[in-house]
Structure 1
Amino acid sequence: MRATGTHGKCLVGENGTATGRVKEPCAVDSLVRDLRLAVVQALRDAADPERARGQQAYMKSEMPFHGVTVPVVRKLVAETVRSRPLPGAAAWEQAILALWRSAERREERYAAVELLNHSRHRCWLEPARMAMIEEMVVTGAWWDYVDAIASVAVGQMLNRHPTEVAVLLRRWADDVDIWKRRTAILSQLKRGKSTDEALLFAFIEPSIDEREFFLRKAIGWALRQYSRVNPDAVTAYVERHASRLSALSKREALKALLKSGAVAEIP
């Protein structure tokens, strides 16, 4: 086996599957439990009840908050990962789902997302992880979870395994669940010049006529990001589909181009 990854924590077998170091099941269970408890305790220690009330109201969340900002959650997760490295992909997935499923405060689910997205675990982002991500997207069912998952973890998987992941995301783009659709649409937000234009437009197509705000917003956001590297393609797309795209999607798509003067008006 050959080691990969910046910190040498991911191991890759002869078949190219990132497996990690193997430990006995009981030892893995203990590591996962300790990591989850450490994250939850760190969040409790950083809690701000006054901020928590405001966060819950802003997010319209039934689940309460600790009152910890996302940058602080990210920092706490990074510190925990350094002090309690996970031995492999199975333990990593187990830890993510343990945090996600047992969460009593919203930041505990944010921590699960940060553990999913952490750069140390990038080599474990394989198509087999899509079942876990589907659970998080469908049960999370709100933009604060979905956008971070779509733009980082799913985007990185699409980069690493474009054929397999694109097949899955094409199905998600046409799913009855709006959050799976939004995930597909936003999956290339960070790809820049590597954006697969045909795939982006294909992901948008099933939702282009929808009235759902979170789909319309996602379409505009995805197109706006792509306009930064290919303004002509986005301008042409919006003009071509002006009668189908919502006013919100068109306004968001052309926002940067209108500001720069590259586009004079919204069609």
Structure 2
Amino acid sequence: MSDAAEFVDAALQRESSWERAEAWEAQLGNGLSYYGASVGAVRGTIRDAGRRYPKLSHDEITALSSELWAVPVFERRLAAVVLLQSNLRLLDNSDLTRLEGFVRSARLRALVDPLAVDVVGPMVERLDAPLRVRADAVLDRWAEDDDVWLRRAVVLSPLRALRKGGGDWDRFVRRAKILLEQSEGAGAEGDVVREAVALVLAEVAKTRPELQLPP
């Protein structure tokens, strides 16, 4: 394990709480282990790591995120998400393969949603036109994938941009309508996607009530 990964892991373990770990395991489960560090502690740890290891390159940031993610501990994986959130300026469409792997293995709203809303979506939005076309093609493939968590990530990815008055509403509508049709009769798995569509619609309605999902 790299020095940076050891620093993050040790800091998270110092912030552990067995009471919180038990509560999170009961609430989130999913076969992960839990240190019991708070979300604030995770974010603080990544800030401290940024000060301790300044000016990390793209490859160093992405490698560190993979190191943290590789161990199935919730706080480590959440730290990987926060690390990527904090270094969006370094990411580009070449990182979608890594992010796809994270989403596929996360299978948990508490990890998939911030990956989609705060990493995938903003990263795609800031790409120039040629790279944006490639990235959108990848997300279109995710929308057709059998993995329901990839489909949820596609739905949630434009949320930040749409809330702020930007984003591609027509593309969201096309994807949402297809995914809603696919989710019919899919039971609890379908709920994962339907819930995401409802969340985006509710959030966008707060600032852009004129945007409606056509029947």
Same fold (TM over 0.5): yes
Cα deviation for residue 205 of structure 1 reads 2.2
SS of the equivalent of 2:2 reads helix
Unaligned runs of 5+ in 2: none
Cα deviation for residue 203 of structure 1 reads 2.1
Cα deviation for residue 136 of structure 1 reads 0.3
Whichever residue aligns with residue 208 of structure 1, its letter is L
Paired with 2:113 and 2:37, the residues of 1 have a C-alpha distance of 19
**Residue 95 (structure 2) pairs with residue 123 (structure 1):** no
Q: Is the 8 A contact 1:170 1:202 kept in 2?
A: no
Task: Tell me the residue number matched to 2:105.
Answer: 139
Whichever residue aligns with residue 157 of structure 1, its letter is M
Higher helix share: 2
TM-score, reference length from structure 1: 0.72
Task: Tell me the residue number matched to 1:178.
Answer: 148
| The one of 160, 164, 167 aligned to 1:195 | 167
Cα deviation for residue 74 of structure 1 reads 0.8
Range with greater deviation from structure 2 (222-231 or 180-189): 222-231
What is the count of residue pairs matched by the alignment?
203
Cα deviation for residue 177 of structure 1 reads 0.8
| CA-to-aligned-CA distance 1:185-244 (integer Å, 9 cap, x gap) | 00011112002111111221221121411111001011112222321222xx2xx42xxx
Task: Tell me the residue number matched to 2:193.
Answer: 215
| The one of 33, 43, 57 aligned to 1:64 | 33
Q: Is the 8 A contact 1:157 1:165 kept in 2?
A: no
Q: Is the 8 A contact 2:92 2:124 kept in 1?
A: no
**Residue 50 (structure 2) pairs with residue 81 (structure 1):** yes
Task: Tell me the residue number matched to 1:111.
Answer: 79
- Work out which structure has the larger RCO, using CA pairs closer than 8 Å and 6 or more positions apart in sequence: 2
TM-score, reference length from structure 2: 0.89
Paired with 2:96 and 2:124, the residues of 1 have a C-alpha distance of 11
Q: Is the 8 A contact 1:174 1:206 kept in 2?
A: no
Unaligned runs of 5+ in 1: 1-31, 242-267
User: Which 4+ runs in 1 deviate beyond 6 A?
Assistant: none
SS of the equivalent of 1:63 reads coil
| CA-to-aligned-CA distance 1:7-31 (integer Å, 9 cap, x gap) | xxxxxxxxxxxxxxxxxxxxxxxxx
Task: Tell me the residue number matched to 2:123.
Answer: 157
Cα deviation for residue 104 of structure 1 reads 4.5
Q: Is the 8 A contact 1:173 1:204 kept in 2?
A: no
Larger Rg: 1
Whichever residue aligns with residue 100 of structure 1, its letter is W
Cα deviation for residue 86 of structure 1 reads 4.8
Identity of aligned residues (%): 25
Paired with 1:100 and 1:233, the residues of 2 have a C-alpha distance of 37
Paired with 2:72 and 2:211, the residues of 1 have a C-alpha distance of 45
Task: Tell me the residue number matched to 2:137.
Answer: 167
